[in-house]
């Protein structure tokens, strides 16, 4: 018989509901049918919703994203064979529900998200936040930088999101990484956009973006040079810095993610995105968000399924990096 755990040993993580006992379509849809944070008290990773989309510049609906992603996540299973990890056995992962966010006042909402993330950080080592629009990245980066110093932002997106203002507003889904750079939250030598494509307002947008601390791996780069080259560039850019991962689901081609607010043709496949996320398992991921899932424009949960797998791969990468930190 295996030895009994010592009194000082932490209890094993509480995993998802057993799908062989309770069918996936039954019960409350927490992320991956995991326990709630209230059930376990403390977690290595807390999945939390940020149902906010007042910062969008085109199609709204991302406020319904967290529930939509959770519903699709019922299909996730507890073992990830692509990276040989049990993400919910290697660490305690729990669903922390949704943040309470003002839907009318962007500045107030940003303050609420920051406060909620800071409070959650006292009972969870890392957060995976389901958006919501990309405005939410700024308050989340503020909390991450408080704990870890300036972080290497690995930003998957069709768009730069380093514009200055929209209609004079400094806090929108197109500005979070400019504000983060100006506030000293990001590592200017290690941050990276992946999947950038489509028209810009002017050539100066790219010069501005470089000044703000970002290198690029464009969608065309992936097409021309392939996934291994992109992964190599990612590793060299990030190095050993603490990493914050931000995934706008519109990094995927609209064929793979139609349910989003600002779709752009010529994007990544879901296979390419998942491969890039798996490469992050050798880095120290300190937080993440998955944003811009807009259910009103989704069909047959295509976008939600992709987003749930994105979050799953991020949690798997966190489990792998946690294991390497322990060794």
The residues that bridge with 43 in the sheet, in sequence order, are 124
pLDDT at residue 323 in the model: 62
Spatial separation of the C-alpha atoms in residues 123 and 82, rounded to whole Å: 30
Question: Which tokens in the block code for residue 318?
Answer: 């966190």
- Which of 291, 265, 246 minimizes the C-alpha distance to 132? 291
| Residues 6 or more apart whose Cβ sits within 8 Å of residue 141 | 151, 153, 176, 180, 185, 186, 244
Contact in structure between 312 and 268 (CB atoms under 8 Å): no
pLDDT at residue 17 in the model: 86
Domain ranges of the chain: 34-326
pLDDT at residue 5 in the model: 52
Is the pTM for the entire model greater than 0.85?
yes
Contact in structure between 252 and 210 (CB atoms under 8 Å): no
Spatial separation of the C-alpha atoms in residues 268 and 278, rounded to whole Å: 15
Question: Which tokens in the block code for residue 93?
Answer: 């992962």
> pLDDT for 243-301, tens place per residue?
999 999 999 999 999 999 999 999 999 999 999 999 999 999 999 999 999 999 999 99
Mean pLDDT score of the chain: 95
Spatial separation of the C-alpha atoms in residues 300 and 281, rounded to whole Å: 30
pLDDT at residue 11 in the model: 83
- State the DSSP H helix or E strand holding residue 143, giving kind and residue range, or none if neither: helix 137-148
The residues that bridge with 214 in the sheet, in sequence order, are 191
Spatial separation of the C-alpha atoms in residues 79 and 65, rounded to whole Å: 25
Dmax (CA) for the chain in angstroms is 68
We find that the CATH architecture of domain 34-326 is 3-Layer(aba) Sandwich (3.40)
For tokens 């890039």, the residue is 276
pLDDT at residue 327 in the model: 47
List, for the chain, all residue ranges whose pLDDT scores fall below the cut of 50: 1-2, 327
Cα radius of gyration (the chain):
19
pLDDT at residue 18 in the model: 86
For tokens 């906010």, the residue is 52
pLDDT at residue 6 in the model: 53
């Amino acid at each position: 018989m295996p030895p009994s755990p010592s009194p000082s040993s932490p209890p094993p993580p509480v995993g998802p509901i057993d799908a062989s006992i309770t069918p996936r379509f039954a019960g409350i849809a927490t992320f991956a049918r995991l326990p709630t944070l209230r059930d376990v008290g403390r977690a290595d990773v807390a999945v939390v919703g940020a149902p906010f989309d007042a910062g969008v510049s085109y199609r709204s609906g991302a406020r319904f994203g967290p529930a939509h992603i959770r519903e699709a996540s019922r299909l996730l299973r507890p073992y990830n064979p692509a990276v040989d990890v049990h993400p919910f056995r290697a660490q305690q992962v729990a669903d922390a529900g949704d943040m309470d966010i003002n839907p009318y006042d962007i500045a107030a909402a940003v303050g609420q998200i920051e406060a909620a993330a800071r409070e959650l950080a006292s009972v969870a080592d890392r957060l995976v936040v389901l958006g919501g629009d990309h405005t939410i990245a700024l308050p989340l980066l503020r909390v991450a930088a408080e704990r870890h110093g300036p972080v290497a932002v690995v930003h998957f997106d069709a768009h730069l999101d380093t514009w200055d203002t929209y209609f004079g507003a400094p806090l929108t889904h197109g500005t979070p990484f400019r504000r983060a750079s100006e506030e000293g939250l990001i590592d200017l030598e290690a941050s990276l956009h992946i999947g950038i494509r489509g028209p810009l307002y002017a050539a100066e947008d790219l010069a501005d973006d470089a000044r703000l601390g970002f290198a690029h791996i464009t969608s065309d780069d992936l097409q021309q040079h392939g996934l291994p080259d992109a992964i190599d560039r990612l590793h060299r850019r990030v190095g050993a810095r603490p990493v914050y991962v931000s995934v706008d689901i519109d990094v995927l081609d609209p064929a793979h993610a139609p349910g989003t607010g600002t779709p752009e043709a010529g994007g990544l496949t879901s296979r390419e995105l998942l491969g890039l996320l798996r490469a992050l398992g050798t880095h120290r991921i300190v937080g993440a968000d998955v944003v811009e899932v807009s259910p009103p424009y989704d069909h047959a949960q295509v976008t939600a399924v992709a987003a749930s797998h994105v979050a799953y791969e991020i949690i798997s990468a966190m489990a792998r990096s946690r294991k390497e930190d322990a060794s």
